[in-house]
Amino acid sequence: MADLDLIIHQPMRLSIMAALMVLAPRAQMDFTSLRELLRATDGNLGAHLQKLEEAGYLAVKKTYVGRKPRTFLAPTGKGRRAFEEHVKALRAILGE
Protein backbone atom coordinates (compact mmCIF):
# COMPACT_ATOMS: atom_id res chain seq x y z
CA MET A 1 0.00 0.00 0.00
CA ALA A 2 1.35 3.45 -0.97
CA ASP A 3 2.27 5.87 1.83
CA LEU A 4 1.14 9.44 2.22
CA ASP A 5 3.89 11.98 1.63
CA LEU A 6 4.22 14.40 4.53
CA ILE A 7 5.78 17.12 2.38
CA ILE A 8 3.06 17.02 -0.27
CA HIS A 9 0.21 16.54 2.18
CA GLN A 10 0.17 20.18 3.37
CA PRO A 11 -2.81 21.82 1.52
CA MET A 12 -0.87 24.59 -0.27
CA ARG A 13 1.88 22.19 -1.37
CA LEU A 14 -0.76 19.69 -2.51
CA SER A 15 -2.33 22.43 -4.66
CA ILE A 16 1.06 23.46 -6.06
CA MET A 17 1.85 19.90 -7.08
CA ALA A 18 -1.66 19.32 -8.46
CA ALA A 19 -1.29 22.41 -10.67
CA LEU A 20 2.19 21.53 -11.90
CA MET A 21 1.25 17.91 -12.60
CA VAL A 22 -1.06 19.18 -15.35
CA LEU A 23 1.97 20.41 -17.30
CA ALA A 24 3.26 18.40 -20.22
CA PRO A 25 6.77 16.94 -19.81
CA ARG A 26 9.42 19.67 -20.14
CA ALA A 27 6.80 22.44 -19.81
CA GLN A 28 7.15 25.09 -17.09
CA MET A 29 4.67 27.39 -15.36
CA ASP A 30 5.58 30.90 -14.31
CA PHE A 31 5.45 31.95 -10.67
CA THR A 32 2.96 34.81 -11.17
CA SER A 33 0.42 32.57 -12.92
CA LEU A 34 0.70 29.94 -10.18
CA ARG A 35 0.25 32.63 -7.51
CA GLU A 36 -2.93 33.93 -9.24
CA LEU A 37 -4.23 30.41 -9.75
CA LEU A 38 -3.82 29.44 -6.10
CA ARG A 39 -4.75 32.89 -4.75
CA ALA A 40 -1.58 32.89 -2.67
CA THR A 41 0.75 35.67 -1.55
CA ASP A 42 4.34 35.93 -2.79
CA GLY A 43 5.76 35.05 0.63
CA ASN A 44 3.48 32.11 1.35
CA LEU A 45 3.90 30.56 -2.10
CA GLY A 46 7.66 31.16 -2.04
CA ALA A 47 8.05 29.36 1.30
CA HIS A 48 6.15 26.29 0.11
CA LEU A 49 8.00 26.21 -3.22
CA GLN A 50 11.27 26.24 -1.30
CA LYS A 51 10.18 23.19 0.74
CA LEU A 52 9.25 21.32 -2.42
CA GLU A 53 12.49 22.32 -4.11
CA GLU A 54 14.54 21.16 -1.10
CA ALA A 55 12.76 17.80 -1.28
CA GLY A 56 13.76 17.53 -4.93
CA TYR A 57 10.13 17.58 -6.09
CA LEU A 58 10.34 20.85 -7.97
CA ALA A 59 12.76 22.48 -10.41
CA VAL A 60 12.95 26.27 -10.19
CA LYS A 61 14.46 28.24 -13.05
CA LYS A 62 15.04 31.97 -12.77
CA THR A 63 15.49 33.77 -16.05
CA TYR A 64 14.87 37.04 -17.86
CA VAL A 65 12.13 37.55 -20.43
CA GLY A 66 13.13 40.79 -22.10
CA ARG A 67 14.35 42.85 -19.16
CA LYS A 68 11.97 41.37 -16.61
CA PRO A 69 13.07 38.66 -14.22
CA ARG A 70 10.75 35.64 -14.24
CA THR A 71 10.66 32.40 -12.33
CA PHE A 72 9.52 29.18 -13.99
CA LEU A 73 8.52 26.03 -12.14
CA ALA A 74 8.18 22.39 -13.13
CA PRO A 75 7.81 19.12 -11.23
CA THR A 76 10.83 16.82 -11.33
CA GLY A 77 10.52 13.11 -12.09
CA LYS A 78 10.91 12.44 -8.36
CA GLY A 79 8.16 14.97 -7.63
CA ARG A 80 5.79 13.42 -10.17
CA ARG A 81 6.32 9.95 -8.71
CA ALA A 82 5.87 11.22 -5.14
CA PHE A 83 2.63 12.99 -6.06
CA GLU A 84 1.27 9.93 -7.86
CA GLU A 85 2.10 7.77 -4.82
CA HIS A 86 0.43 10.30 -2.52
CA VAL A 87 -2.75 10.30 -4.61
CA LYS A 88 -2.68 6.49 -4.67
CA ALA A 89 -2.46 6.47 -0.87
CA LEU A 90 -5.42 8.87 -0.60
CA ARG A 91 -7.45 6.61 -2.91
CA ALA A 92 -6.46 3.56 -0.91
CA ILE A 93 -7.89 5.18 2.24
CA LEU A 94 -11.19 5.53 0.40
CA GLY A 95 -10.97 1.92 -0.75
CA GLU A 96 -10.71 2.90 -4.44
Residues in contact with another protein by CB under 8 A are 1, 3-4, 6, 9, 11, 14-15, 18-19, 21-24, 26-30, 33, 36-39, 65, 70, 72, 87, 89-94
Bin 39: left if φ > 0, else alpha if -120 < ψ < 50, else beta. Answer: left
The nearer residue to another protein, 29 or 49, going by C-beta atoms, is 29
Residue 52 CA to residue 75 CA, distance in Å, equals: 9
Q: Which is nearer to another protein, 18 or 47 (CB)?
A: 18
CB of 21 to another protein, least distance (A): 7
Residues 6+ away with beta carbon under 8 Å from 10: 48
Q: What's the full length of the chain, in residues?
A: 96
CB of 15 to another protein, least distance (A): 5
